[in-house]
Amino acid sequence: MAISYMTKEGYNKLLEEVNYLESEKRPAITKQIAEARDKGDLSENAEYDAAKEAQGILEAKIAQLKTLISNVRLIDESQISTDCVQILNKVTIRNIKNNQQMVYMLVSESEADLKAGKIAINTPIGKGLMGKKVGDIVEIKVPSGVLSFEIMDISI
């Protein structure tokens, strides 16, 4: 699995999620399996099958999160500059076609949240902005065509 760059905040959220899944969800599913098993014949027990399936999905999710955690590299936020666009920068861009301005923060894929203005660095817009400077015009290919943006500001 590839290395994921993350903020300390994002990393802590992952740890909290794994802790919740292991300490609360796992015991709840184990209890459901035990209750279903107590009802008798397992060959025709839909509750047992559903609980076992939920357990498999939960364990896969826990394993996936633990793999992600093991490949996290924390970003030293004090080392971030605003000379050119990089992860954790807030970038103000202007759509050249309609003059609309937007502000996005570039984050790792696991921390992306479009509603909060956080876009992943591996998205078309994120990739297009990386390494650019204030005043640069970037052409970004998106599913609906090519968009042109001017980089107005880079901040932290």
The pTM of the full predicted model, rounded to 2 decimals, is 0.61
Q: Directed axis angle between helix 8-20 and helix 46-70, to 10°? A: 150
Q: What is the pLDDT of residues 7-45, one digit of tens each?
A: 788 889 899 999 999 999 999 999 998 888 888 777 778
Residue 153 has pLDDT above 90, yes or no: yes
Instruction: Return all residues near 18 (Cβ < 8 A) that are at least 6 apart.
Output: 62, 65, 66, 69
Q: How many residues does the chain have?
A: 156
Kindly calculate the radius of gyration of the chain based on its CA atoms and give it in whole angstroms.
Answer: 22
Q: What is the pLDDT of residues 66-84, one digit of tens each?
A: 988 888 888 777 777 788 8
Q: What is the pLDDT of residues 75-114, one digit of tens each?
A: 777 777 788 898 889 999 999 999 999 999 998 887 888 8
State the CATH architecture for 4-74.
Orthogonal Bundle (1.10)
The answer to whether the beta carbons of residues 129 and 148 sit under 8 Å apart is: no
| 78-155 belongs to CATH 3.40.50.1820 | no
Q: What is the DSSP letter of 116?
A: G
pLDDT at 75: 76
Residue-range domain boundaries for the chain: 4-74, 78-155
Of 142, 141, 134, 127, the C-alpha closest to 94 is 134
pLDDT at 1: 54
Is 103 strand, coil or helix?
Answer: strand
Q: How far is CA 136 from its chain centroid?
A: 27
pLDDT at 152: 93
Of 14, 50, 15, 21, the C-alpha closest to 33 is 50
pLDDT at 48: 87
pLDDT band, residue 2 (cuts 50/70/90): low
β-strand partners of 147: 140
The answer to whether the beta carbons of residues 140 and 96 sit under 8 Å apart is: no
β-strand partners of 35: none
pLDDT at 38: 85
